Structures are given as C-alpha cells and as structure tokens.
Amino acid sequence: MNEPRRVEHQQTDKGYVPVYTTAVVEQPWDDYKAEDHATWGTLYQRQRELLVGRASEEFLAAQDAMGMTPHAIPRFEQLNEVLGAATGWTLIGVEGLLPELDFFDHLANRRFPVTWWIRRPDQIDYIAEPDLFHDLFGHVPLLMNPLFADYMQAYGRGGVKAHGVGPEALVNLTRLYWCTVEFGLINTPDGLRIYGSGIVSSKGESLYSLESDAPNRIGFDLERVMRTRYRIDTYQKTYFVIDSFAQLIDATGPDFTPLYAKLAEQDAIAAGTVLGSDRVYTRGTGEGWASDGDV
C-alpha cells in the first residue's frame, strides 16, 4: 500500500480540472484530526435527520445495519466485516477520483473505492468532487442491499465492456450511472423517495429533488436515460424514478452493444426536456434553470 495523499481537483482560470489517481491506500484512521471527526459528525447528523421520510427505507435500514454513527469517522475494516458478510463487497481506500477503467474494474470485482479524506470545514455545504462523506455516507449503505449490490457489479462489468466499445458508449453508460446511482429517485407506497448518493449526501438537493416545483420527475426508461444529458454544476433539471431496485437489474441484464449502436444514430436529449412518451410524475416549472452547461 502507498502512503495516502489527498488528491483534489485543481482550480484554474477555466474552472476545476479533474486530477486522477489510481493508488489504493490503507485508511489512515489514526491520522484523522478532531476537526475531521467533527466534520463527519456534523454532516452525518444533519443528513440523517433530514432523510427520515425522504430517503428510501432500504437506504436508512442499510445504514443502520452497518453501524455508522456521528461520533467518529467509521473504520473501513469494521464496515468491511459487515458488508462482506451481507453481499460480498469490500471497501478500498483511494486518494481521489479514479480513471474510468480502474473504477469499472473495481466495481466489477465487488470493490467499492472510498476517498480516504474528508472535506474541510469551509467546504461543509459543497465540494466539487467526491470525498469520504459523499462516498461513505452516500454510496456505501445500499451495497448492503443484494439487488443494488448486484446492479453495481453489473454496471462495473458493463463499464469495462463499454470502454472497449468506444467513447460514445461510455457517455451513454455514464448517463445511466448519473441518473440512477448518483441522482435516482424511487417510487414507494409512501411516495417518491431518494436513493441516489449525490442527493442523500447533499442537504440542498435532498430538499430540492423531492419538494421543489422546478425539476421534472420522470419514470425510468433505460434508452431514455442513456440519451439524456445532465448537470454537474447545479441541481438536476430532471430526476428519473425507478419502481424498484429489481427494475435496475432487469434493465442491465441484456447486452448493451446493440443499444449503443442504436443510440449512436439518435440525438442526445437536453437535460430539461419532457417527451410525449415519458411517464411524468412531475413536469417542472424550470424556475432557476441555467440555459446552458448540460453535459
């Protein structure tokens, strides 16, 4: 294992430039400062209180089962005992953002990369890249759910394959990850609930995604999602709603190669567009939307 570094995006006159690292490191738990544990505790307690009645029950129950608390940053080795027994996944420490193929390979082998360092106190409400809180609080709990755990492995295997198909296929597949794993909603008997990690780890987007009149909320359809552009710098214009985690498994079962060929012949769909064929839960007002910047 390498000595862990804190690898962050670089701020330039053209905005943040991603910096990638492939290193796998031991979590330096004894080196965390009181400030780090306090930041974890503040974020954890705030989000847990906010997510009751907003996050999916599967997420909340999984987080409880893992034994996470606000008292200190969890130890990866302790979480791995619980996670490994539940679904066979393992957390690995990383220094920052991974290159795509490395990330896919880890997922395909049921290894989930977790950034070892946590944001600074002045970044408590927003950070431009994944840190320990986003990864551990947002992503890891649902790996306790067998269906979602299998979906993540299937996604990793699909990513390795898409990497060999070409850049357009990777764009399509990245949209699927963004609209499900990061910013997905799920329909439940009690109404729409959050499961995407980018939402559950964000105070503002936890409220916005469910309660704002601005965004669209549209039923999940694989081809539709893989054609749809999205936002990386603001709240989402459109959230896609699954009926169950089994739906994700069913959607990713077939070989995507013919779908990539079909998608290559179609135009991308702007982030805020509502199609006549969409299953619409909410048609957003569009208030506050940026007019450009979809990716």
Bridge partners, 20 (sequence order): 97
Task: Determine which helix (DSSP H) or strand (DSSP E) holds 240, and give its type and residue range.
Answer: strand 238-242
For residue 106, indicate whether it is catalytic: no
Q: What is the torsional sign of CA 232, 236, 240, 241?
A: positive
Dist. CA 58–CA 60, nearest whole Å: 6
Which of 162-167's residues contact partners 24+ apart within 8 Å by CB, and which partners? 162/256, 162/260, 163/100, 163/101, 163/104, 165/257, 165/260
Which residue in the list 182, 197, 206, 209 is annotated as catalytic? 182
Q: Which two tokens stand for residue 10?
A: 């670089």
For residue 139, indicate whether it is catalytic: yes
Which residue in the list 139, 197, 206, 209 is annotated as catalytic? 139
For residue 206, indicate whether it is catalytic: no
Dist. CA 140–CA 162, nearest whole Å: 24
What's the Cα-to-Cα distance from 76 to each of 89, 124, 140, rounded to whole Å?
Answer: 12, 22, 11
For residue 9, indicate whether it is catalytic: no
Which residue in the list 56, 197, 201, 209 is annotated as catalytic? 201
- Considering only CA atoms, which of 120, 129, 136 is closest in space to residue 21? 129
Which residue in the list 56, 95, 134, 197 is annotated as catalytic? 134
On whether the CB atoms of residues 276 and 212 are closer than 8 A, the answer is: no
Q: Which two tokens stand for residue 81?
A: 């005992």
Dist. CA 254–CA 247, nearest whole Å: 13
DSSP state string for 250-272: HHHSS-SHHHHHHHTTS--B-TT
Annotated catalytic residues are 134, 139, 182, 201
